[in-house]
Structures are given as structure tokens and as C-alpha cells.
Amino acid sequence: MSDSDTTMDAGGGLRTPIVAVLGHVDHGKTSLLDKVRGSAVTSGEAGAITQHIGATAVPLETISDIAGRLVDPDDFDLPGLLFIDTPGHHSFSTLRSRGGALADIAVLVVDVNDGFQPQTLEAIDILKRTQTPFIVAANKIDTTPGWNPNPDTPVQQTLAEQSDRAEQRLNESLYEIIGELSDNGFSADMYWRVQNFRGNIGVVPVSAETGEGVPDLLAVLMGLSQRYMKEDMSIDTAGAGAGTVLEVKEERGFGTTLDVVLYDGSIRTDDTIVVGGKNDPIVTDVRALLQPRPLEEIRTEKRFEKVDEVTAAAGVKIAAPDLDEALAGAPVRVVRDRPEEEVVEEVRQELADISVDTAENGVVVKADTLGSLEAIANALEEAEIPIVRAEVGDVAPRDVAVASTAEEVTEEVILAFNVDVLPDARQEAGDRNIRLFEDDVIYQLIDEYEEFVDEIEREQQ
Ligand code: GDP
């Protein structure tokens, strides 16, 4: 695989828009991504998709192949779409409001039978806060009673061809979703009636099972990117790379590595990089840039191959010394053509913008990424709950030690979002009577804590 294969460089300096897929658990995020990948593979285009670290790139020709008459490649000069592979919390909590959003555009997946659920609302909150444009994939339309699938035509037409009963049933569900969006402050409608996608949310009925609506979804994503976001996609491919850490991972033979989505410029094997860390920004030299090998080789050979350069937008694994303290959700910058100190200062500033205000007394919060930590801190602030310590990472004994110094029972508490509790920390929390609240839905985590506070207050009266 050559470098140009992995990056889909348009030549004209336009990069691939980065797409995140969000939504409530079980509403079909993974299935939808799989369907997009599957459709790309079966479209028969040579090199239909390229698998990146943490992302999948679908080139314009393949999108046009899948979408048929809905996408005429001559109308577009964007190179395709890059889908972030880890759907749900992980990618959306890493969406950054400042210093470069990870995703340019989002697909909010909503199960037509289930409607809006806590993580749907949570996703909407984050999309609002980060001002990320999005569309809604109203998924599982195939489960509508009496639905007569026709995967080969655009879904608007299929919908019109249903029996009256099926059409009516589905329309009811779809209008419920449109109503929920409107309750949340968005003007929304079925995508074929939306003229201006800037500020108006298009709803695309889809089935991740049959593939119906996938062509429509890709067409709307391409249209939206091409019409409204072209300026944001213009990059200097030779410029210093900028990206966001998706994950910090041990990798055999490479030590601690970073899975990064690069959204600007390029990164090369001889580059020095600055990465957001637990304390100060980390300055280190790239040891290797790694891409996944083609799928069929994974089992027979080593999983990664080394590449010399990666150009945005792309997912890449970076191996380098001293990454142990790196943070998921933190910025990564290549030092090129300007002083290292300036880049370090920029990363430090960006981290300071994210970091959470802590008080002298309050609860301990642990979360999986900087983005989720920030989202929880905002929610706690709204609920007027003070925080004494907020960090990315698993719950460790030292967190229990901090919680034990609290003056109030209601503050002898650790809120753990999407992280593990280390066994000795759990043991110690038990011994010291420290309450652990664990959840992967922000609203629920805070609700559980507030119920506990209410209970304590009732007891004290
Ligand atoms: P996620 O948690 O949002 O990633 O949801 P998954 O993609 O894991 O889907 C949850 C369940 O719903 C799985 O059993 C899927 O097979 C099923 N599912 C997802 N999309 C569809 C769909 O469009 N139609 C039907 N019938 N089932 C679906």
C-alpha cells in the first residue's frame, strides 16, 4: 500500500471530511458502519475502501457506485468520506469543541421503534455544544410491520411504494423523531424536503440490515460536505500535521502507541511531535507510523505495516517513546517550520481550555477521554455539584484516598464514566465506605448520584 492509497489525496488540497456515528446503545451504529463498509466492498471498485487505524475511508467513486444516480462524481471535488470506526461514546466524547473538532460532520442514529433515548440526548448536547453539523439516520425501518424491502432504489421511493399501513406506521415513527428534534431546538424534516442543510436537520430513513437508505445517507453526507464545508476541507498537505488522540494503547513490539485521527497536514517518520499529556505536553520523536494491513493478511502476518508518511484526513497509529502519560482526546501536533516551544505552548493552551475547574471540596470524577470529562464537568456544573478532582483514566487507589478526605458524606464519592475500577481501588473504596458510581451514560451517572444525595438528605432530616 503506497502513501497515496492510504490518504486519498485529492491533489487540490481538499481533504476527506471526517464523519462520526453517534447514538444510543443498540440503535445500530456498528451495523450501519458495517453496512457502509460492506456496500463499499461489494460495489466492486478496485480499492473500494481503505482501512485506517480507527477509521475507514470510502472514496468518491465508491460512494457514487453505491449511491447510483444520487451521487454524480462530476458534481464533487471532495475525495470521499472518512468514517470514524469506533461508534458511540468513544468517538463522540472525543469530538472537540475547541482547537479543531475531530469530526466535521456526524450521523445520529435513532432506532425508529425506540425513538430518543438518554444517549441520543447526550449526543445532541455534545453536537450542539461543538456546533457539529449532523443528519439523523432513522434506523431499522425494515422492522416496520408490513415493510416491503427494495434495497436497490432510493429509500424515498421505497417508502412511497409501501402498503398504506406500513407507510403510515413508519411515517408516525419518523414524525416522532422530527418532533423530538424540534423539542431540542432543531428544525428538521425528511431529507428530501430539506432545502438548506445548514441549521436544518435532514432525517434519512435507513436499514442497516437491508441497506435501504444507505445510498441516500451517503448522498446527503457528500452533498452537505460539498456545499457547506468545502473551505474547512482545504488543507496544506505538506504542512505540519494536526490530529486528535482516539486511544492510547499498548501494542506488542511497539510499547505505548497512539491511535490518532489526523485532520490537517501530514506526519512523517522523522517528525518530532507534541502530544497532550497528564501533566505537561509530551515532546517525542516518531519511531514508526503504522497502518493496518489488508484484512485478509491480518491473521497470517503481523497486523501493521510501517509507512513513511500519512496525510490528512486519515487514521494512523503512532509509535514513539514516552507516551505513557498521553491522554485520549488530547491534541497531537507535528513540529515543523516553527519553534518547538511555540507548539508546546499551543498544546498546553488547548489542554488548559479543556481542563475542568476544581473546587476545594467536591466529588472525584474519572472518565475515558478529555472530551467526556469535559462533558461530565459541564453537566455537574449545571447541577451545581462541585468537583475536587477530574481526570482521564481508571479509578485507582489514589482516587479513593482523595475521596476519603471529603468533609461531607455526599462528597465521599467517585463518579466513573466509561472507565474500569482497579480491583485494589474497589477493595479500598469498600473498606473506607466511599461510594462508586459507574455508568456510561452521563445523564444516568449524574441521576444516580443525585438520588443518593436526596436519600442522604432525607435521612438527615
Ligand atoms: P450499536 O450498539 O448502536 O452499535 O448497535 P448495533 O449495531 O450493535 O445493533 C444492535 C442490534 O440491532 C443488533 O442485534 C443488530 O443486528 C440490530 N440492528 C441494527 N440495525 C438494524 C436494522 O436496520 N434492522 C434490524 N432489523 N436490526 C438491526
Q: Whose CA is nearest to atom 2 of ligand 1?
A: 26
Ligand 1 atom at shortest distance from the alpha carbon of 109? 3
Rounded to the nearest angstrom, the distance between the alpha carbon of 211 and the centre of ligand 1 is 12
Give the DSSP letter string of 382-441.
HTT--EEEEEES-B-HHHHHHHHT-SSGGGSEEEEES--B-HHHHHHHHHHT-EEEEESS
What pLDDT is attached to residue 457? 92
What pLDDT is attached to residue 90? 61
- Cis before 40? omega within 30: no
Sign, CA torsion 69/71/76/79: negative
Ligand 1 atom at shortest distance from the alpha carbon of 210? 23
Query: Of 106, 129, 99, 137, which is closest to residue 17 (Cα–Cα)?
Result: 106
Residue 331 one-letter amino acid: P
Residue 299 one-letter amino acid: R
- Contact at 8 Å (CB) between 24 and 111? yes
Ligand 1 atom at shortest distance from the alpha carbon of 141? 23
What pLDDT is attached to residue 190? 96
Ligand 1 proximity of 205 Cβ (cutoff 6 Å): no
pLDDT along the chain (461 residues), means of 10: 43 82 93 90 70 90 91 93 80 56 89 94 85 94 92 87 92 96 96 88 96 96 90 88 92 94 94 93 97 67 87 95 93 95 94 80 92 87 93 94 94 95 97 96 92 93 84
- Contact at 8 Å (CB) between 391 and 366? yes
Sign, CA torsion 423/425/431/435: negative
Q: Return all residues near 449 (Cβ < 8 A) that are at least 6 apart.
A: 363, 385, 413, 415, 437
At residue 332, φ and ψ (nearest 5 deg) are: -125, 130
Rounded to the nearest angstrom, the distance between the alpha carbon of 51 and the centre of ligand 1 is 22
Ligand 1 proximity of 26 Cβ (cutoff 6 Å): yes
Query: Of 67, 66, 56, 74, which is closest to residue 8 (Cα–Cα)?
Result: 56
Residue 460: its H or E element:
helix 442-460
Residue 181: its H or E element:
helix 164-183
Ligand 1 atom at shortest distance from the alpha carbon of 139? 23
What pLDDT is attached to residue 120? 92
Query: Of 50, 60, 109, 51, which is closest to residue 222 (Cα–Cα)?
Result: 60
Ligand 1 proximity of 212 Cβ (cutoff 6 Å): no
What pLDDT is attached to residue 99? 45
Rounded to the nearest angstrom, the distance between the alpha carbon of 192 and the centre of ligand 1 is 25
Q: Whose CA is nearest to atom 9 of ligand 1?
A: 28
3-state SS of the chain: helix, strand, coil percent to 5? 40, 25, 35
Q: From CA 77, how far away is CA 157, in angstroms rounded? A: 28
Ligand 1 atom at shortest distance from the alpha carbon of 33? 7
Ligand 1 proximity of 91 Cβ (cutoff 6 Å): no
Rounded to the nearest angstrom, the distance between the alpha carbon of 159 and the centre of ligand 1 is 20
Ligand-binding annotation for 26, yes or no, is yes
Report ipTM for this prediction. 0.99
Residue 136 half-sphere exposure toward CB, CA atoms < 13 A: 34
* Probe target for ligand 1 pocket from 24, 26, 31, 36, with the most ligand atoms within 8 Å of CB: 31
Question: How far apart are the two ends of the chain, measured CA to CA in Å?
Answer: 69
Q: Return all residues near 137 (Cβ < 8 A) that are at least 6 apart.
A: 23, 28, 32, 107, 108, 109, 110, 204, 206, 213, 217
Bridge partners of 424? none
The pairing of strands 272-275 and 331-335 is antiparallel
What pLDDT is attached to residue 5? 44
What pLDDT is attached to residue 127? 86
What pLDDT is attached to residue 8? 46
Cell of 132: 457539529
What pLDDT is attached to residue 142? 95
Rounded to the nearest angstrom, the distance between the alpha carbon of 112 and the centre of ligand 1 is 12
Ligand 1 proximity of 90 Cβ (cutoff 6 Å): no
Sign, CA torsion 260/265/271/277: negative
Ligand 1 proximity of 119 Cβ (cutoff 6 Å): no
Determine the Cα angle at 261 with ends 395 and 230, to 5°: 135
Q: From CA 330, how far away is CA 347, in angstroms rounded? A: 9
User: What pLDDT, in 10s, does the model give residues 282-335?
Assistant: 999 999 999 988 765 555 557 889 999 999 999 999 999 999 999 988 999 999
Residue given cell 470510502 in the structure block: 58
* Probe target for ligand 1 pocket from 21, 24, 25, 26, with the most ligand atoms within 8 Å of CB: 26
What pLDDT is attached to residue 295? 62
What pLDDT is attached to residue 44? 66
Ligand 1 proximity of 369 Cβ (cutoff 6 Å): no
3-class SS at 263? strand
Q: Where are the alpha helices (DSSP H) in 294-396?
A: 340-354, 370-382
User: What pLDDT, in 10s, does the model give residues 173-219?
Assistant: 999 999 999 999 999 999 999 988 888 999 999 999 999 999 999 99
Rounded to the nearest angstrom, the distance between the alpha carbon of 398 and the centre of ligand 1 is 39
The pairing of strands 331-335 and 387-392 is unpaired
- pTM equals 0.86
Ligand 1 proximity of 87 Cβ (cutoff 6 Å): yes
- Contact at 8 Å (CB) between 93 and 375? yes
- Cα distances from 332 to residues 53, 142, 273, 320, in angstroms, run 15, 42, 7, 12
Residue given cell 469535559 in the structure block: 374
Determine the Cα angle at 278 with ends 104 and 105, to 5°: 5
Q: Whose CA is nearest to atom 11 of ligand 1?
A: 26
Residue given cell 478496485 in the structure block: 46
